């Protein structure tokens, strides 16, 4: 894992405590592409899923598409759509202007966000809901593309994928240590974002901590880094 490659000595099972003693690091300058992972849909049951620019490995019942192949997307007419936030918003805009429709899209939209782009805000959710009227699930990626946190059916934060990342708050700012990166380790990387890490049990039954209320940080520390 990343910490081993960086030759950080940490006691078994408590890397978080040792990490806290390290200074925050700058966010990685550029995106590093990892080997593509399988997409994990948040709901059970057979669902026809269109992955638009997701760069996932498409499994059964999933098809991949590019954002400029809307004819294909409309003819596939999936039950669920997976797309980065900017593409999901542009599809919502087209839908509202009557330029585009997916009549079978009745299950969910999974919005992919990343530490390198804008977090999913309430007004984005409203816009997507108005356009498509289906539940929205956010999945947050690290700089390398790995999914680090996923929203569950309870819609009360994103469950942190504990095998993929350690997220910590440092002077209000979220710092990310990625555990599955290839190449340069990403340790305590600054995100420019703030949020809440909720440790209490989620109503969905999962015990992993959840990331809630993610937004841009405006603390002294973030201004100093700008
Ligand atoms: Zn949950």
Most confident segment among 52-61, 113-122, 182-191, 197-206: 197-206
Question: Model-level pTM?
Answer: 0.87
> Cα(197) to centroid of ligand 1, in Å?
13
CB 147 within 8 A of CB 164: yes
> Which class in CATH covers the domain with range 33-142?
alpha beta
> Cα(159) to centroid of ligand 1, in Å?
6
User: Which strand ranges, in their side-by-side order, compose the sheet holding 136-141?
Assistant: 62-65, 49-52, 80-84, 108-114, 136-141, 147-151, 158-160, 210-216, 193-198
Residue 148 pLDDT > 70: yes
> Cα(135) to centroid of ligand 1, in Å?
15
Q: Which residues, in sequence order, are CB contacts of 96 under 8 Å at separation 6+?
A: 130, 131
Who has greater pLDDT, 31 or 51? 51
SS3 130: helix
> Cα(167) to centroid of ligand 1, in Å?
17
Q: Please report which confidence band the pLDDT of residue 198 belongs to, taking 50, 70 and 90 as the band edges.
A: very high
Among 123, 104, 120, 105, smallest CA distance to 158 is for 120
Among 185, 209, 208, 188, smallest CA distance to 1 is for 185
> Cα(215) to centroid of ligand 1, in Å?
20
Average pLDDT value for residue range 100-114: 95
Question: What's the half-sphere exposure (Cβ side, CA atoms, 13 Å) at 139?
Answer: 21
Look at residue 32 in the predicted model and tell me its pLDDT.
54
> Cα(18) to centroid of ligand 1, in Å?
28
Predicted confidence (pLDDT) per residue in 152-191, tens digit:
999 999 999 999 999 999 999 999 999 887 778 889 999 9
Instruction: Give the integer Cα–Cα distance in Å for 162 and 106.
Output: 31
Look at residue 46 in the predicted model and tell me its pLDDT.
82
Domain boundaries, the chain: 1-30+156-226, 33-142
> Cα(154) to centroid of ligand 1, in Å?
5
CB 146 within 8 A of CB 162: no
> Cα(196) to centroid of ligand 1, in Å?
15
> Cα(82) to centroid of ligand 1, in Å?
19
Checking 128-134 for CB contacts under 8 A at 24+ apart, the result is: 128/88, 128/89, 128/92, 130/92, 130/96, 131/91, 131/92, 131/93, 131/95, 131/96, 132/81, 132/92, 132/95, 132/102, 132/105, 134/80, 134/105, 134/106, 134/107, 134/108, 134/109
Cβ atoms within 10 Å of 111's Cβ, excluding its own: 24
Predicted confidence (pLDDT) per residue in 109-119, tens digit:
999 999 888 88
Look at residue 38 in the predicted model and tell me its pLDDT.
86
């Amino acid at each position: 894992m990343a910490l081993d490659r960086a030759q950080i000595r940490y006691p078994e099972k408590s890397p978080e405590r040792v990490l806290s003693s390290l200074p925050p690091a700058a966010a990685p300058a550029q995106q590093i592409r990892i080997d593509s992972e399988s997409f994990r849909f948040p709901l059970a049951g057979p669902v026809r899923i269109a992955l638009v620019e997701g760069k996932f490995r498409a499994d059964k019942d999933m098809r991949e598409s590019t954002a400029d192949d809307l004819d294909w997307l409309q003819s596939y007419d999936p039950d669920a759509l997976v797309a980065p936030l900017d593409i999901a918003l542009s599809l919502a805009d087209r839908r509202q202007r009557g330029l585009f429709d997916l009549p079978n899209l009745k299950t969910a939209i999974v919005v992919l966000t990343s530490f390198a782009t804008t977090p999913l805000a309430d007004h984005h959710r409203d816009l997507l809901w108005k356009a498509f009227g289906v539940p929205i699930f956010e999945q947050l990626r690290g700089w390398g593309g790995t999914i680090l946190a996923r929203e569950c059916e309870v819609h009360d934060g994103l469950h942190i994928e504990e095998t993929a990342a350690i997220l910590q708050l440092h002077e209000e700012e979220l710092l990310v240590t990625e555990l599955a990166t290839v190449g340069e380790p990403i340790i305590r990387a600054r995100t420019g974002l703030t949020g809440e890490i909720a440790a209490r049990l989620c109503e969905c039954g999962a015990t992993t901590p959840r990331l809630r209320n993610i937004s841009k940080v405006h603390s002294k520390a973030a201004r100093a880094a700008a």
